[in-house]
Amino acid sequence: MKNKETSSISGAEAVIRSLLEEGVDLIYGYPGGAIMPIYDELYKYSDSLSHILTRHEQGATHAAQGYARTSGKVGVAMATSGPGATNLVTGIADAQIDSTPMVCITGQVASHLLGSDAFQETDIIGISTPVTKWNYQITKASEIPVIMAKAFYIARSGRPGPVLIDITKDAQFELLDYTYEKCKGVRSYAPIPTLDTAQVEAAAEIINKAQKPMIIWGQGVILGEAEEEFKTFVETSGIPATWTILGLSALPTKHPLNFGMVGMHGNYGPNVLTNQCDVLIAIGMRFDDRVTGNLETYAKQAKVVHIEIDPAEISKNVKADFPVLGNCKESLSQLTVLVKHKAYNQWKQRFTDHMKIEIEEVIKGDTLPTKEGLTMGEVIIGINKYTKGDAVIVSDVGQHQMIACRYAEFVQSKSNVTSGGLGTMGFALPAAIGAKMGAPDREVLAVIGDGGYQMTIQELGTIFQNKTAVKIVVLNNDYLGMVRQWQQLFFDKRYASTEMTNPDFVTIAKGYHIDAQRVTKREELDQAIKTMIASDQPYFLEVCVEKEANVFPMIPTGASVSDIRLK
């Protein structure tokens, strides 16, 4: 909606009209007293702005994240003051560390009550400051258009992130002369560094001298909409490419230069060979501790090229010998012109040789099991069979997450949605709702453990009410599996508070009028997956898997990537 003419409206209506100006057509939220004026205006604009009532405010933030991750747009979540606002914080923190663009709007008590410990008053600005890219409290209606425009600009520009706007109740009622101008810049904020051609040339020179180069790419490739430029760079250079879990799907899984995942439960070759490459090219990733293991022993032999949009990430964890600051879409375009193609046959063969070892030691046991119990890996392989790699997989946090990332196949970008940096159990179910709404023409499957599922299980109500055709796969081992694995390996099998006594998940799903099935035997699995994928409605599938299976390979905490364990 374009409106450059001045008109006198309430602050609440100004919020709604500002959202429309920013192209927002979908909000996730939960109403309450302090934000009721905005909800009243939202009711009047329901033809042009849809609101999804989640069953918990945390669900609203995760749904907004899922929407942002598959649509590429800014997700929007809304809540009232006090507990409504604080319930948003986990999702905001998740979005901050995973660079997800999101704007959260919270109601607040009237401005004259601020600081008085009024009913449902909480200092959400103070609470959210460490986990937002920017936040602001509005106490005057006249501030709303400018602050809303600034919020969306900051959330989506440069390295994206969450923004929180807190609006007092009197500001929502107050009248203002409304005009709206989109924000095009903020003083002292440079979201995209100017690309230094000399940095690109220096990076190209060291890459061209390399005999054993290796690429690690992260989510920055996806956030920068640089998938085509990245693919061209990989193919032009001929360099083996590996990924972090948030970078997964930027390059098709079966691309001949895609050699797998780095990190704690990544592939054997990419981890071991990190400490043998001579040039390490990091693209849109931040050298998280789950990727690097012990920093004292990480890639010390290699020259490091780091292509990154955020100056704060350069040499933060791993020293960059050749930093290239800028949007990777532009950086890769310039770099590709300068790099020379090489075959690297002997070097690539080492990745292949390590994969052969991993297949024998780990992958066959995960995906071609001979044991009586079902494995998580064979469930993911079964899903691949019917989705052909074209689905969005939304995973929660734990063993199933690592298995999903290891074995799910993808043919297009924005297909892997998971909680990376914060590791938020309960993420997947509400995030899958948003992911489906952000990509309504794609199949969306939530892969969840029995522990994380119960943290946000109430969002089945959101699925039912909105008839969101999400497919839910719960891999049930009756344990908090990842914690139990650590207890087995490092705490002498003292399974303290990790065994779960679970409810009848199928009955619960059916209580929400969602078709549901439980699989306990291998011969039931294929048909169950086929039935689930064929459905055009929400569907719940519980698969009872081995109770004490572990995820390997694994780099123990504090160990070198070279010390990755296969069993």
Burial 331-351 (b: 16+ CB within 10 A, else e): bbbbbbeebeeeebeebbebb
CB neighbourhood size of 115 (10 A): 10
One-letter amino acid identity for 480? L
Distance CA 18, CA 144 (A): 8
The answer for 518, left when phi > 0, alpha when psi is -120 to 50, beta otherwise, is beta
Distance CA 195, CA 209 (A): 23
Residues 175 and 9 sit within 8 Å (Cβ to Cβ): yes
Residues 453 and 394 sit within 8 Å (Cβ to Cβ): no
3 state SS of 275: coil
Phi, psi of 297 (to 5 degrees): -120, 10
Residues 325 and 311 sit within 8 Å (Cβ to Cβ): yes
3 state SS of 166: strand
Distance CA 60, CA 212 (A): 46
Specify burial of residue 146 (Cβ count, 10 A radius: 0-12, 13-18, 19+): middle
DSSP string, 215-248: EEE-THHHHTT-HHHHHHHHHHHT--EEE-TTTT
Distance CA 80, CA 478 (A): 36
Distance CA 210, CA 339 (A): 11
Per DSSP, 195 falls in state P
Residues 135 and 166 sit within 8 Å (Cβ to Cβ): yes
3 state SS of 556: coil
Residues 470 and 535 sit within 8 Å (Cβ to Cβ): no
Which among 135, 186, 128, 126 has a CA at the least distance from the CA of 164? 135
Supply the residues annotated as catalytic.
57, 119-120, 169, 482
Residues 93 and 133 sit within 8 Å (Cβ to Cβ): no
Which among 447, 436, 387 has a CA at the least distance from the CA of 414? 436
Dmax (CA) for the chain in angstroms is 72
> Is the alpha carbon torsion for 26, 30, 36, 40 positive or negative?
positive
Helical spans, DSSP H, in 238-370:
268-274, 289-292, 328-338, 345-358, 364-367
Distance CA 22, CA 536 (A): 32
Distance CA 335, CA 207 (A): 10
**Strand-pair category, 175-178 with 7-10:** antiparallel
3 state SS of 498: coil
